[in-house]
Amino acid sequence: MNAYTVYAPLLSPVSQSKFIWYPDGALSVDELGSIAYAGSRQDLPSNLAALANRSTSNIVAPGFIDAHTHLAQYRCRGRRADNLLQWLKRYVYPEELRFAEPGYARTCSLDFFAAMAQAGTCTASIYTTSSAASTNIAFEEAERSGLRIIMGSMMMDRNAPEALLQAPPIAIEQASDLINTWNRKNGLLYYAVSPRFGVSCSEELLKACGQLACESDVYIQTHINEQREEIEEVLALFPASPSYTEVYEQCGILTNKTLLGHNVHCSSAELDIIQNHGSSIIHCPEANLFLGSGRFPLEDYEGRSIHTGLGSDVAAGHSLCMLDSMRAMAHVQGRGIHPFIPLYAATLGNAHALRLESITGSLEPGKSADYIEMRMDDSIIGNWNYAELDSEEIASCIVYALKEQDIRASYVAGSERWRNHCE
Ligand SMILES: [Zn+2]
């Protein structure tokens, strides 16, 4: 690709309490798709000012990262049930069964990645179904989308419809093949060994997952401590373990590349275990609100060194757009929270949770040019201009007022993956 410079207002996280904001900014992208410069237009080096360029009044910010979502559930959003286990039986398992049909898997995968790029998500960690063939198709469409994708085939060997179950040796063999084909392909794709949760995975399967992930140096993603009924069922299935977290610890699936979805109900002792293993927690607030799982205790993570990410968790979350997850993160707390907290979570915080902070999550020289453009029209900004607003005020408008249709373009590695051409 040809190197270029974009002149635009720039916002980017430095930490959970600090964002840089250049109302009159410039972002330069080199021929490899990496960021060569991100800062004020005034300080742009002359060689970068000489590159091909374009200007926009849209705010340029790091592409959103979705650290937990389900490709195969995209078409069953909005179906309410009384609790998680009933919801899985009534809506999710029947939908996952449909992915055995390759044409259906292809169409849904294509739609899903298109919707993701349109929502401003440039990087995501995704579950597919237990069908290896449908997971292959999903990876083909992920590759075609040009997004940065961590993904894995769902693994279950009990307590779900027979056609979704696999004996551990077969599940591991299929996951190994998928790892060999897709992990680290094109520098954008990664594999995640994906046992669903303690209810639907035997000790044998969980142990095999832990071993495979360690041997292959890949991610593990799973669910934990989402609802009280689920926890009770897991403890009944694993009577030797005093907690859900210890089930996972004893099976060897808590690694520093493990992504644990939810963790709404968790003791301090369990958090100590998770912290010791360096695993990440992925908070999915829309799903917690929708399924009535409870309030994620954000305050329990203060002072801890646990990376806490943010996920849309479609289809328990209704939207792939991380703007909706950010707002839900604030609302589920029952109080207004500083806008940097959710905006950091959906960008650099998630990059840390996914161990991709050296590659993406902020606009810094040397990182991949993964960025989005967001429109902030007069209905939000009113009579103010960008130079009169500070980073906190801009972040607040983004988190609390922008909508999915305000995402105007998404770029990964400097290349356009989606643009709304109706300006
Ligand atoms: Zn989930």
- Kindly give the distance from the C-alpha atom of residue 52 to the centroid of ligand 1, in angstroms, as a whole number: 43
Question: 305 vs 29, 65, 259, 262, 263, CA distance in Å?
Answer: 33, 20, 15, 17, 16
pLDDT digits (tens, 9 = 90+) for 90-108: 999 999 999 999 999 999 9
- Kindly give the distance from the C-alpha atom of residue 239 to the centroid of ligand 1, in angstroms, as a whole number: 24
Q: Are 241 and 264 in contact, with CB atoms under 8 Å apart?
A: no
- For residue 234, what pLDDT is reported? 97
Choose among 136, 138, 139, 201: nearest CA to 166.
Answer: 201
| Residue 344 half-sphere exposure toward CB, CA atoms < 13 A | 19
- Kindly give the distance from the C-alpha atom of residue 216 to the centroid of ligand 1, in angstroms, as a whole number: 23
Structure-token match 């009579």, residue found: 383
Show the tokens assigned to 270: 């369990």
- Kindly give the distance from the C-alpha atom of residue 196 to the centroid of ligand 1, in angstroms, as a whole number: 8
pLDDT for residue 25 is more than 80? yes
The backbone torsions φ and ψ at residue 51, rounded to the nearest 5 degrees and listed phi first, read: -70, 165
pLDDT digits (tens, 9 = 90+) for 245-295: 999 999 999 999 999 999 999 999 999 999 999 999 999 999 999 999 999
State the pTM of this model.
0.97
Could you tell me where the beta strands, DSSP code E, fall in 120-218? Answer: 121-127, 148-152, 154-155, 189-195
- Kindly give the distance from the C-alpha atom of residue 287 to the centroid of ligand 1, in angstroms, as a whole number: 8
- Kindly give the distance from the C-alpha atom of residue 309 to the centroid of ligand 1, in angstroms, as a whole number: 13
pLDDT digits (tens, 9 = 90+) for 114-145: 999 999 999 999 999 999 999 999 999 999 99
Question: 117 vs 36, 144, 233, 246, 339, CA distance in Å?
Answer: 23, 12, 37, 37, 23
- Kindly give the distance from the C-alpha atom of residue 82 to the centroid of ligand 1, in angstroms, as a whole number: 17
- For residue 403, what pLDDT is reported? 96
pLDDT digits (tens, 9 = 90+) for 380-414: 988 889 999 999 999 999 999 999 999 999 999 99
Counting residues of the chain whose pLDDT is more than 70, the rounded percentage is 100
- Kindly give the distance from the C-alpha atom of residue 315 to the centroid of ligand 1, in angstroms, as a whole number: 8
- For residue 229, what pLDDT is reported? 93
Choose among 418, 414, 421, 376: nearest CA to 397.
Answer: 376
pLDDT digits (tens, 9 = 90+) for 175-211: 999 999 999 999 999 999 999 999 999 999 999 999 9
pLDDT for residue 423 is more than 70? no
pLDDT for residue 335 is more than 90? no
pLDDT digits (tens, 9 = 90+) for 150-169: 999 999 999 999 999 999 99
